[in-house]
């Protein structure tokens, strides 16, 4: 996972938290749901990147 990907995913996660909070405060259920969805997308991307890193480490371990 590159630094750019990490920053982008964290920014998306934080943006989702802001949307969720704004939706909750204003009573806008749609905005709140959109914020939760943004956070979920970000978490899935982060998990995928971590899985790729793990597979690379396993692959590198067999090369040694």
What tens digit of pLDDT does each residue of 28-62 get? 999 999 999 999 999 999 998 889 889 988 988 88
Domain spans, the chain = 3-62
Q: Give the Cα-Cα-Cα angle 62, 63, 64 (nearest 5 degrees).
A: 90
Residue 10, pLDDT > 70, answer yes
Contacts of residue 41, Cβ cutoff 8 Å, sequence gap at least 6: 12, 16
Residue 21, pLDDT > 90, answer yes
Q: Residue 16: is it exposed, middle or buried by C-beta count within 10 angstroms (0-12/13-18/19+)?
A: buried
Whether the full predicted model's pTM is greater than 0.85, yes or no, is no
* pLDDT classification of 1: cutoffs 50, 70, 90: low
């Amino acid at each position: 996972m590159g630094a750019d990907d990490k920053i982008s995913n964290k920014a998306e996660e934080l943006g989702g938290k802001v949307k969720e909070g704004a939706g909750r405060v204003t009573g806008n259920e749609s905005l709140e749901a959109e914020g939760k969805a943004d956070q979920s997308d970000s978490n899935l991307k982060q998990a995928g990147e971590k899985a790729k890193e793990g597979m690379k480490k396993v692959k590198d371990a067999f090369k040694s």
